[in-house]
A and B are shown apart, each in its own frame.
Chain A
Amino acid sequence: EAAVTQSPRNKVAVTGGKVTLSCNQTNNHNNMYWYRQDTGHGLRLIHYSYGAGSTEKGDIPDGYKASRPSQENFSLILELATPSQTSVYFCASGDARGRPQNTLYFGAGTRLSVL
Chain B
Amino acid sequence: GDSVTQTEGQVALSEEDFLTIHCNYSASGYPALFWYVQYPGEGPQFLFRASRDKEKGSSRGFEATYDKGTTSFHLRKASVQESDSAVYYCALGTGNYKYVFGAGTRLKVIA
Q: A residues within 8 Å of B by Cβ?
A: 4, 31, 33, 35, 40-45, 48, 50, 58-59, 90, 92, 94, 96, 99-109
Contact = CB atoms under 8 A, between A and B. Distances in A.
A41 B93 contact: no
Interface residues of B, number: 29
Contacts of B34: 103
Interface of B: 1, 6, 9, 31-32, 34, 36, 41-46, 49, 51, 89, 91, 93-104
Contact of B1 (A50, A59, A94, A103): A59
Contacts of B101: 35, 42-45
Contacts of A102: 93, 97
Nearest to A6: B43
Contacts of A101: 32, 49, 51, 93
A40 B9 contact: yes
Given A101-B93, A104-B46, A108-B43, A42 B103 contact: yes
B100 A59 contact: yes
The 3 closest A-B pairs by CB, nearest first: A106-B43, A101-B32, A42-B103
